[in-house]
Structure 1
Amino acid sequence: EGGRTALHHAAVRGEPEMLKFLINAGTKSYNEDDEEDIESGGGEKLQPKMLLTMVDEQGDTALHKAVLSYKLEAVRFLVDADPDFEYSSNISGDTPLIIAIREAQLNENKYDTGKIRKLLFMMQPNQIKVRTGENEWTLLHHAAYNGDVSIIADIIKFCPSCLELVDNEGKNFLHIAAKWEKVQVVKHVLGARDIPVSVLNDQDNDGNTPLHIAAITGNETLTRCFLFDPRVVKTTVNKDGQPVLHAIKFSYDKRKAGVFDIVDTVDQSDLKDQRDFDLVVGALIATVSFTAGITVPGGYISDGPNQGMAVLSKKGSFVAFIISNNMALIFSLYAVFSHFCARRLSEEAEIIYQLNVATFCTLAAIYCMMVAFIMGSFAVLANSSWLGIVVSIISCFFFIFACRPMWRIAMQRKRCTAASQHKRST
């Protein structure tokens, strides 16, 4: 009935003596048949424990049935009968171990379900490696997906070699935990110091490590778990050419993460875009400053002994305008000149130096140009002092708004300097 053998029925009833009798009888029968075949010179030698492998219409072996019926002694006997046998999954995709785990959870380890689960983990760890479903997930993948830390802890204890198993996308269980944001699983695994480093840094078919996937999800807590673990490599690049650190979109302690010497670097395409943009800004400031120096505010004296002189030349605000505008022109031209030199240098250190000089000069030119605008406006609005003051106050908001980004730039340079010194000292 239903394809079940006598061994299936004995397993359901949990009768170890009957199980022992059936297996021994089957073994004796097979041996006798083998001897007759050998004497007659024909036949194929049969496996002495074939009864253990026989399945019913649901794909269940006798061990499946014993586990489903909570028969601890029957389970123990069947496992001892052939500890090395590799049980497969039934039609539902369940191995005896998966059934034991599910029943233990449903029954809160009552009715010997907890003992059966532990016994199978100890005696049949190979069941963890059985792949099921379209993704070819193992028990470990399913545990990571469900966030079941207890199962993962047992697998780490009884089958550490199973940790490196991957599905058909090349993902191990940490990839799955990161993708589905199972923070507790990741914390538990990273807290186990004997986890192979290869598991933490394994790349899937797309070249993504668990850290890469965690960063893509945007989960800061999850990403920081990987980021602050010294065993996790932070220099990997996936097949799309994206460095793992470029996928992180939030601020973090770069020194604690151990990436202060690599995180602020950019690839060549980003560096080229930055140089082109800075060059355009420098050239624009130089053009504006040069134009303002020729067409001074207030115009020129058209007649008399001072013909051709600036009308506002004797005012202090006009003098300040001329000086600041001249400095803006000098800084911007030197920034353009530094970019010109950087494009023709081949040594990386020299190129970076020239680009840093160009950046500093561009920032200085922007500030000087703003000062020149304020002083020029104040000079031409001298007859309406209140309006000149209002314009000057409004213009000063630029310096207030610029404080934060300048502070960030200064702190970043400080970290880079500290990183360079640390790298040289080590």
Structure 2
Amino acid sequence: MENQQVRQRLMEAAKVGDINLLYGCIHDYPKILDSIDEIPFVDTPLHIAASAGHAHFALEMMRLMPSFGKKLNPQGLSPLDLALQSREGLSPSDPDLQKMEKLSSEDRDLRNRITLTISRLINFDKELIRVKGRGSFTPLHYVAEKGDIDLLAEFLLACPEPIMDRTIRDETALHIAVKNSKLQAFKVLLGWLRRI
């Protein structure tokens, strides 16, 4: 079967989280995952599954191709970055807006699935928290910027080393929290720095 057709089916499998279809694609073209890995900047099936909240598919993909977890897409984003952005898009970051706008049950379910996917990915490989994307921004920098205290604490518990990682602007997660007026994130990060 044509490589491009198999790749399209594989991406569809990632969108819907269909592991059986994943293995059907591998059966039809055994080198499909390697051919994707050869592309320097690409949306892998892991990028797609992580942003759609398909934890089982994402973990199966990490097991088959661990390199996909650190691969950047053409926008300079890792699979974990995309999952974080998808999750953030499902809830206003302004607490006042959160009171006014209620998520639909479908959006709440998707947000929970994406959160589970994020947690499962970092449990599988804690170093995903340190993957430097565009501007050397890591997933830890992103959660500090958004002030997501729950994920910030989860990330630091899993892998505290990135607290000192710097962006190309020489900013740590602490700098980013201050710059974005995220007081609670600042307090969490400061508490971790005092432990070091």
Cα distance change of structure 1 residues 17 and 109 upon mapping to structure 2, 3 Å threshold: same
1:95 to 66, 72, 78: 78
The structure-2 alpha-carbon separation of the partners of 1:182 and 1:2, relative to structure 1 and needing over 3 Å to count, comes to farther
2:34 is matched with 50
Which amino acid in 1 is paired with 2:123? M
> d(CA) in 1 for partners of 2:75 and 2:144?
20
Deviations 1:3-46 (A, max 9, x none): 9444223222322123124336655xx6xxxxxxxxxxxxxxxx
Unaligned runs of 5+ in 2: 91-106
Q: 2:97 aligns to what?
A: none
Normalised by the size of structure 1, how large is the TM-score?
0.36
Q: Cα distance 1:13–1:168, how it changes in 2: closer, same or farther (>3 A)? A: closer
Q: How big is the shift at 1:84?
A: 5.3
Q: Is the 8 A contact 1:83 1:123 kept in 2?
A: no
1:149-190 deviation digits (Å, cap 9, x = unpaired): 223212102222222211224332112223444321121223
Aligned to 1:114: 115
The root-mean-square deviation of aligned C-alpha atoms, in Å, is 3.3
Residue from 19, 22, 25 that aligns with 2:25: 22
User: Separation in 1 of the partners of 2:5 and 2:161?
Assistant: 37
Cα distance in 2, alignment partners of residues 70 and 166 from structure 1: 28
| d(CA) in 2 for partners of 1:54, 1:5 | 17
**Residue 157 of structure 2 corresponds to residue 187 of structure 1:** no
CA contact (8 A) 2:137 2:167 kept: yes
SS in 2 for 1:112: helix
Residues 1:193 and 1:145: Cα distance change in structure 2 (over 3 Å) = closer
Q: Distance in 1 between matches of 2:113 and 2:42?
A: 24
Note the alpha carbon deviations across 1:286-321, whole angstroms, 9 max, x for none: xxxxxxxxxxxxxxxxxxxxxxxxxxxxxxxxxxxx
| Deviation sequence 1:245-269 (CA, Å, 0-9, x none) | xxxxxxxxxxxxxxxxxxxxxxxxx
For the pair shown, the structure with the greater C-alpha radius of gyration is 1
Q: How many residues are treated as equivalent by the alignment?
A: 175
Deviation at 1:140, TM superposition (A): 1.9
Map 1:54-69 to 2 at 5 A.
59-69=42-52
Q: 1: CA distance between counterparts of 2:144 and 2:133?
A: 15
Aligned to 1:73: 56
Number of the residue aligned with 1:168: 168
Residue type matched to 1:170 in 2? D
Is residue 23–residue 51 contact of structure 1 (8 Å, CA) maintained in 2? no
1:79-107: CA deviation from partner (whole Å, max 9, x where unpaired): 22133554323233332112222333413
Q: 1:136 to 1:69 in 2, by over 3 A?
A: closer
Alignment of 1:265-304 (within 5 A): none
Query: Where do 4+ consecutive residues of structure 1 move more than 6 Å?
Result: none
The secondary structure found in structure 2 opposite 1:91 is coil
Residues 104, 113 of structure 1: 8 Å contact kept: yes
Distance 1:26 1:142 in 2: 36
Higher RCO (CA-CA < 8 Å; seq separation 6+): 2
2:70 matched to 1:82? no
Partner Cα distance (1:187, 1:78) in 2: 36
Alignment identity in percent?
Answer: 24
Partner in structure 2 of residue 143 of structure 1 = 143
Assess, with a 3 A threshold, how the Cα gap between structure 1 residues 184 and 88 changes in structure 2: closer, same or farther: same
Unmatched runs of 5 consecutive residues or more in structure 1: 31-47, 197-426
**Do 2:81 and 2:139's aligned partners in 1 also have CA atoms closer than 8 Å?**
yes
Asked whether the equivalents of residues 163 and 173 of structure 1 are also in contact (C-alpha less than 8 Å), the reply is yes
Tell whether the 8 Å contact from 1:189 to 1:195 is kept in structure 2 after alignment: no
CA distance in 2, matches of 1:26, 1:194: 52
For residue 8 of structure 1, the aligned residue among 8, 11, 25 is: 11
Structure holding more helix per residue: 2
